[in-house]
Structure 1
Amino acid sequence: MSTPADTTFHELAPEYVALRERARELAATCAPLACRADESDSVDREVRALLGESGLAAVQVPREYGGEFHRPDSLAVTLVREQLAAESGHLDSLFAMQGIGSYAISEGGSDELRRHWLPRVARMDAIAALALTEPDVGSDLKALSTTITAEGGELIVSGRKSFITNGGDASYYCVLGKEEVDGRTGYSLVLVPADAAGVSWSRPHQIIAPHVLGDLVFEDVRVPAGNRLGLPGKGFALVLATLATFRVSVAGAAVGTAQAALDDALVHTTGRAQFGVPLARLGPVPQLLAMSWTEIEMARTFTYRVARAAAADPAGSLHLSSMAKIGATEVAGRVTDRAVQVMGRFGLVRGTRVERMYRAARPMRVYEGATEVLLDALSKQLIKGARS
């Protein structure tokens, strides 16, 4: 049982409808594996194989290198994540990072790097990762301490990265570090293969919704100068371009998470009676269910609108992507909490989908821009616009 969300009025083009259906089929195939995969701190091989067989990872790279679209499409990625996140956070993360961890190659890599890595990313033969965060650096990326030094025909990468998605399982890392360029400190991106000499990793963290995370150490790692992504000292431009393209997809994942929780709450409350009536008609439960449906549809409609805008103009729509991310993740938090509440003790059972969705919803308000950080940026943009 589910809400009438599948018959909403979003007027998706046929290719997007077909893509959403493929994603739904993959999610259903992976559903029996979700409980195991969602508790894993390393990439689940069976889930990876199924994602590869589905061909959906090709959405994340340009058509020229084996992709489905001319370039990674924000609406396509958002629609896929909505369906995948409704069954498995592990599957959703694995899919999402193929784009987040490869976009800098698509936009700033040499032809040689693109030809080597992007078709492998599309086939799931290579696992992608983006290494930004450090042990003492989160939102304030300009305070990072990792260094990049050009020497002859090589680049030397030294430093530590922390809480890196796919850390330890990735095939390569797009690493952000400081670099002295023409006497000034800039920030550059470099592709470092995971098997390069001097790269090591550990897994000191496990978060409330288990996630493939690793801490990385780069000890004077030498890579060819051709592994540079973008221009020297201009790495932030590629990081912002990545966020502009993929941030709205977090909203899609949040909508899918909330929808799954509501669907499970509906099954429970319509199938279980108390005091002689179904729970779905008892006390405040009907209002809680209806409010959840209302908020999900509001979040879905705005998310789709923003995803279309981001596909057309990623940089010009970044503020909207931030709004969608804030709004949908906050909705996911409220809806999953209500779902657990109306299901009572059955909502607390470890390993059930609603319990996994409850835990999965919480980190969404932190990663890829915490709610408060995004609100601060939006407030500055709003006030600046009012003064001009």
Structure 2
Amino acid sequence: MSTEQDLFTLPQRYLDVQAAARELAADCSDIAARADESDSIDPDVRKRLAASRLAEIVVPAAYGGRFDKVDSLAVTVVREALGAECAHLDSMFAMQGIGSYGIGVGGSETLKEEWLPKVARLDAIAALGLTEPGVGSDLKALTTTIVERDGKLVVNGHKSFITNGGDADFYSILGREGDGYSLVLVPADTPGLRTERPHQIIAPHVLSDVVLDNVEVPVDNRIGEPGKGFALVLATLATFRVSVAGAAVGLAQAALDEAVAHARTREGFGVTLARLGSVPEHLAKCWMDIEMARSLTYRAAAASARDARANLHLSSMAKVAATEIAASVVDRSVQVAGRFGLVRGGKLERLYREARPMRIYEGSTEVILDSLAKQLVRDAG
């Protein structure tokens, strides 16, 4: 029987995962700054992540993974640790799951056996192709087409801002098929597929456009049933959205740690900065906000691990709350550090840039709040 204390303590298997993730993060601290400026997969980060075997967490056990099914709480715990040290490492870990999750729940045995063990070992880099130059949050407006012809699936379209684009070994591509939307696995070396890198963001990212010009793949590369791809995409978002909150909590904690270290040693007007003016208030508010975000994130992740679709509202709340808090905490931390927080190449400056995209990707704050409000009103009626 669980005690009250147990309700607010991670079970041992998650503590073990957390310890391993913290060890990996520490192991990557010497290359984090370099990796976080890279627009291609950093080979050293990839090697160290593979050696840690943490990517096994994002693949079902039957195909080389750690747990029977992908566990949202385990993924979230890992991302909190990795996000505190290296955004490149965090993204690489998360995308192995986000890019391959549809295969695990909807793919044929052939696709699962061919690709998922490679994903777990990082022998293959995964990517998910959703957004297009003219389509962001409104995915039902996408223009990529999938047509079955002569025993093949023919894919045409232009995907934009695709994480791992250009370095991925395969893409899970969402496109229109008939009156529905299908998800199709397209290996990166398929004729007709090319990548372009017209954009880079303020926190450098492995990112590209993916252009598909009469790309042909076997019919068996369709993931799930024809026209049912949206359900797989929603299942992916439901499972992994809360993990963004974990990464945001880790980032916020790292920023506060930097601010506290500076405030404890910097002196002015005869006292340490930690006791000067409004600085104590800034530090205390940051600590309080992080603990609130962590509590909601862990609750949502635990609920998602039980039933991701039924608890998507909690995952969405956690994603918004934690990313907004991360932005606030890192901003206050830069303020505490003053000019030293603005130095290019410093950790706080890097965290400041990395915090901003979190409020946009995998569901922008505004889109999620609109969805939550609709659910709240609907359920009240």
In 2, Cα distance between the equivalents of 1:243 and 1:132?
12
Within 5 A, what are the aligned runs for 1:341-356?
341-356=335-350
Which residue of structure 1 aligns with residue 80 of structure 2? Answer: 82
Which residue of structure 2 aligns with residue 149 of structure 1? Answer: 147
Within 5 A, what are the aligned runs for 1:301-312?
301-312=295-306
* Amino acid in structure 1 at the alignment position of 2:199: H
Which residue of structure 1 aligns with residue 119 of structure 2? Answer: 121
1:315 partner SS: coil
Consecutive unaligned residues in structure 1, runs of 5 or more: 1-7
Q: In the alignment, is the contact (CA less than 8 A) between 1:58 and 1:66 conserved in 2? A: yes
In 2, Cα distance between the equivalents of 1:354 and 1:74?
28
* Amino acid in structure 2 at the alignment position of 1:121: V
Structure 1 residues 115-170: Cα deviation after superposition (integer angstroms, max 9, x where no partner): 01000000011000000000000011011000000012210000000000000000
- One of 319, 327, 330 as aligned partner of 1:325: 319
RMSD: 0.9
Within 5 A, what are the aligned runs for 1:376-387?
376-387=370-381
In 1, Cα distance between the equivalents of 2:176 and 2:86?
36
In 2, Cα distance between the equivalents of 1:79 and 1:350?
29
Q: Residues 9 and 382 (structure 1 numbering): CA distance in 2 closer, same or farther, change over 3 Å?
A: closer
Out of 166-175 and 349-358, give the one that drifted further.
Answer: 349-358
* Amino acid in structure 2 at the alignment position of 1:89: A
Q: In the alignment, is the contact (CA less than 8 A) between 1:87 and 1:353 conserved in 2? A: no
Which residue of structure 1 aligns with residue 246 of structure 2? Answer: 252
CA apart distance, 1:195: 0.3
Structure 1 residues 89-118: Cα deviation after superposition (integer angstroms, max 9, x where no partner): 100000000000010000111001000100
2:310 partner SS: helix
Which residue of structure 2 aligns with residue 366 of structure 1? Answer: 360
In 1, Cα distance between the equivalents of 2:82 and 2:321?
20
- One of 256, 266, 269 as aligned partner of 2:260: 266
- Divergent runs of 4+, >4 A: none
Structure 1 residues 314-358: Cα deviation after superposition (integer angstroms, max 9, x where no partner): 000001110000000000000000000000000001111111111
TM-score (norm 1): 0.96
In 2, Cα distance between the equivalents of 1:339 and 1:36?
22
Q: Residues 361 and 9 (structure 1 numbering): CA distance in 2 closer, same or farther, change over 3 Å?
A: farther
In 1, Cα distance between the equivalents of 2:280 and 2:8?
26
- One of 170, 177, 180 as aligned partner of 1:179: 177
TM-score (norm 2): 0.98
* Amino acid in structure 1 at the alignment position of 2:67: F
Within 5 A, what are the aligned runs for 1:288-299?
288-299=282-293
1:223 partner SS: strand
Q: Residues 382 and 10 (structure 1 numbering): CA distance in 2 closer, same or farther, change over 3 Å?
A: same
Which residue of structure 2 aligns with residue 30 of structure 1? Answer: 28
CA apart distance, 1:10: 3.5
In 1, Cα distance between the equivalents of 2:8 and 2:331?
27
* Amino acid in structure 2 at the alignment position of 1:83: A
Which residue of structure 2 aligns with residue 3 of structure 1? Answer: none
In 1, Cα distance between the equivalents of 2:19 and 2:42?
23
In 2, Cα distance between the equivalents of 1:353 and 1:81?
18
In 2, Cα distance between the equivalents of 1:128 and 1:350?
31
| Paired residue total | 376
* Amino acid in structure 2 at the alignment position of 1:368: E
- One of 334, 341, 345 as aligned partner of 2:328: 334
CA apart distance, 1:209: 0.6
Which residue of structure 1 aligns with residue 167 of structure 2? Answer: 169
Q: In the alignment, is the contact (CA less than 8 A) between 1:200 and 1:218 conserved in 2? A: yes
Which residue of structure 1 aligns with residue 187 of structure 2? Answer: 193
Structure 1 residues 236-267: Cα deviation after superposition (integer angstroms, max 9, x where no partner): 00000001100000000000000000000000
* Amino acid in structure 2 at the alignment position of 1:124: L
Which residue of structure 1 aligns with residue 104 of structure 2? Answer: 106
In 2, Cα distance between the equivalents of 1:212 and 1:206?
9
* Amino acid in structure 1 at the alignment position of 2:262: H
Q: In the alignment, is the contact (CA less than 8 A) between 1:198 and 1:221 conserved in 2? A: yes
CA apart distance, 1:9: 8.4
